[in-house]
Amino acid sequence: MILIKFLKKIRNIYLVDVKYRKYSIGTGFHSGVRVRLWAKSTLKIGKNFYIGRDSFIETDCSIGDNVIFGNKVAVVGKYDHHYQQIGVPVRLASAMRDADYSWKGLNLVTRIGNDVWIGYGATIVQGVQINDGAIIAAGSVVTKDVEPFSIYGGNPAKKIANRFESAEDLDEHYRISFGK
């Protein structure tokens, strides 16, 4: 058990300091297996981030502290391929990963706040903002901004509940977690 914990720690250090060194990743990073991270310009990840196996981030993204991604979560681009390029099949069109790409989406950053939980198999589309304390239900597709301390689910994701049952509970959580 101690050896497994040690090996996981070494693997995470390798990922942060070697494989993903061009990105800004805070302390306490943990990645499941077969995770891919890619951003054209910016990928900033806060402290205590967990990303489950088979998940990927493939767009510019900013993630706060104490965030958890379940397995198979995807943060994907909205304009990864220039699908309006006249006379060119989408498969052959210019793509976001190309150095000379100049179509839509270049300045869209997905923003995920602090204390967010994104459930198994959820997909987050480029450019949305998931505010502090939100929860995204498993299998959801997030295409629009998400309110703080709310639970969203479905395709497309819609608000289904508040995270806390009372304003007092939210205030107490906010005071303890965020020091305010």
Q: How far apart are the first and last CA of the chain?
A: 39
CB 70 within 8 A of CB 86: no
Does the N-terminal peptide bond of residue 89 adopt cis geometry, omega within 30 degrees of 0? no
Q: Is 82 tagged catalytic?
A: no
- Exposed e or buried b for every residue in 109-123, given b needs 16+ CB within 10 A? bbbbbbbbbbbbbbb
Which residues have C-beta within 8 Å of that of residue 11, sequence separation ≥ 6? Answer: 31
Q: Which of 30, 81, 82, 173 is catalytic?
A: 81
Separation of alpha carbons 34 and 114, rounded Å? 24
Please tell me the distance from the alpha carbon of residue 18 to that of residue 25, in angstroms, as a whole number.
Answer: 12
Point out the residues that are catalytic: 81
